[in-house]
């Protein structure tokens, strides 16, 4: 809801073009982060959780400190890259050469957000899910407050001002997350001796997630960038507005994804494949009912919203919406894929990422070039359909492998 309010304020007081530019920058951030990240949050969950189970506080400390160093190194690289190419980004992607300052501000937002990887991983491993959700909510609420201040004082909702609001909110939340992390490192884990023999294993795990995430750079957010590059910011604004309305559908599965990773690791360690399959089946049944209920609310609300903001939705927009609804359902039903792969074999995720990295840019570029805005919906839907088949097959194979060792004497 908070994210929706932010989008509404930007769209109504800045225009659909400004929202489209913001969406493209967020998409660019997502692509670059996926391309370079080691996904330290996942490595921290894996090794920190094992450290707690085995009563090895040194392993917990090793996971946190190593993750922090990786976050800082990669975060600075991302910051410098975006800052260096700010003029090119504003000219070629945003279609306005005078937005360079806003892009530079956004590079600071990227750094502040990226540094949050290890603290969030720590909170995940501690299963402090409510706190994680609270931090996300605080960031969204702070943005709304800043947007409200702009509107109240008659400050124009420009691209640059939106970037400032995003930067301030991200820095504030990241500082809170780091205070929680440092409290653990300087408290209970302060004198723990780190088992450096685990560094090589940590490195292998991080390399696997790095490769997996790098491949996903070609399949996440790239649709928005391609659409913006071929068409215009207004189309991007409409596309991402639809995504914003459909986001509650994916949010329904988010708690399952966040909470299940530590449990999947536990189930795999004890060779209990039945626990994984039962969890997935039960959760998908709940999510299907939630999906139907959400659509009954979302679709009429979107139509009313379009009329209120004079967005002039036409037949192509409603066709795109239908395609995106189907894609959202498939994506929701695959909530388990990444935690499952990281628990069983990260290579599975790499293969899935490679498949998506090839299919999505190719199909989206092809269909957007042929039919315009609707083409992005066609390309995304075909990609998700192929991924669904891939992950279901991998789940069946992995179930046999997980259960095998338990039958041995």
What is the pLDDT, as a whole number, of residue 270?
A: 66
3-state secondary structure of 395: helix
User: What percent of the chain has a predicted confidence (pLDDT) above 90?
Assistant: 48
Measured CA to CA, the distance from residue 197 to residue 199 in angstroms comes to 5
Give me the percent of the chain exceeding a pLDDT of 70.
Answer: 91
- The dihedrals phi and psi of 387, each to the nearest 5 degrees, come to -65, -35
Picking from 28-37, 300-309, 386-395, which range would have the lowest pLDDT averaged per residue? 28-37
- Say how far apart CA 43 and CA 118 lie, in whole Å: 9
What's the pLDDT at 377? 96
* Most confident by average pLDDT, 194-198, 251-255, 272-276, 350-354: 194-198
Dihedral sign, Cα of residue 222, residue 224, residue 229, residue 231 = positive
Nearest 5 degrees, angle CA 329-CA 333-CA 339?
140
Cα separation values, 312 from 13, 23, 139, 242, Å: 17, 20, 31, 14
pLDDT band, residue 41 (cuts 50/70/90): confident
- 8 A C-beta contact, residue 118 and residue 64: yes
* pLDDT for 404: 57
Residue 144 confidence (pLDDT): 95
pTM of the model: 0.74
Q: 216-275 pLDDT, tens per residue?
A: 655 678 899 999 989 888 899 999 999 989 988 888 887 777 777 667 776 666 666 677
pLDDT at 271: 67
Cα(290)–Cα(278) distance, integer angstroms: 19
What pLDDT does 405 receive?
Answer: 47
Q: CA 6, 11, 13: angle at the middle one, nearest 5?
A: 95
Q: Is there a contact between 63 and 51 (Cβ–Cβ < 8 Å)?
A: yes
Report the pLDDT averaged over residues 45-59. 87
**In the predicted structure, residue 305 carries a pLDDT above the cut 80:** yes
- Residue 342: what pLDDT? 75
39 pLDDT above the threshold of 90: no
How high is the pLDDT of residue 400? 59
């Amino acid at each position: 809801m908070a994210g929706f309010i932010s989008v509404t304020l930007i769209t109504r007081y800045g225009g659909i073009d400004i929202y489209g530019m913001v969406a493209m920058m967020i998409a660019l951030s997502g692509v670059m982060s996926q391309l370079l990240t080691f996904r330290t949050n996942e490595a921290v969950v894996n090794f920190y959780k094992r450290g707690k189970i085995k009563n090895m506080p040194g392993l917990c400390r090793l996971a946190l400190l190593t993750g922090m160093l990786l976050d800082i190194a990669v975060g600075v690289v991302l910051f410098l890259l975006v800052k260096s190419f700010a003029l090119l980004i504003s000219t070629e992607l945003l279609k306005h050469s005078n937005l360079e300052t806003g892009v530079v501000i956004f590079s600071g937002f990227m750094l502040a957000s990226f540094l949050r990887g290890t603290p969030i991983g720590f909170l995940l491993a501690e299963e402090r899910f409510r706190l994680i959700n609270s931090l996300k909510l605080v960031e969204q609420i702070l943005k709304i407050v800043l947007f409200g201040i702009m509107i109240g004082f008659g400050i124009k909702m420009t691209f640059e001002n939106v970037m400032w609001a995003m930067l301030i909110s991200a820095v504030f939340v990241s500082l809170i997350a780091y205070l929680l992390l440092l409290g653990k490192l300087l408290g209970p884990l302060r004198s723990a001796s780190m088992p450096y023999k685990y560094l090589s294993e940590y490195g292998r795990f991080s390399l696997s997630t790095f490769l997996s995430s790098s491949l996903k750079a070609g399949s996440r957010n790239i649709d928005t960038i391609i659409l913006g590059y071929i068409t215009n910011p207004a189309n991007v604004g409409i596309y991402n507005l639809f995504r914003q309305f459909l986001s509650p559908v994916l949010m329904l599965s988010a708690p399952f994804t966040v909470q299940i990773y530590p449990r999947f690791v536990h189930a795999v360690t004890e060779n209990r494949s039945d626990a994984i399959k039962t969890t997935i089946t039960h959760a998908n049944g709940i999510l299907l009912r939630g999906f139907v209920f959400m659509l009954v609310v979302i679709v009429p609300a979107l139509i009313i919203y379009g009329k209120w903001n004079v967005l002039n939705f036409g037949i192509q927009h409603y066709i795109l919406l239908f395609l995106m609804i189907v894609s959202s359902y498939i994506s929701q039903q695959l909530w388990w894929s990444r935690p499952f792969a990281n628990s069983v074999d990260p290579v599975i995720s790499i293969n899935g990422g490679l498949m998506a990295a090839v299919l999505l840019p190719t199909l989206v570029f092809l269909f957007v070039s042929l039919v315009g805005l609707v083409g992005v919906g066609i390309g995304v839907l075909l990609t998700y359909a192929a991924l669904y088949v891939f992950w279901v097959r991998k789940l069946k194979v992995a179930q046999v492998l997980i259960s095998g060792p338990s039958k041995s004497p």
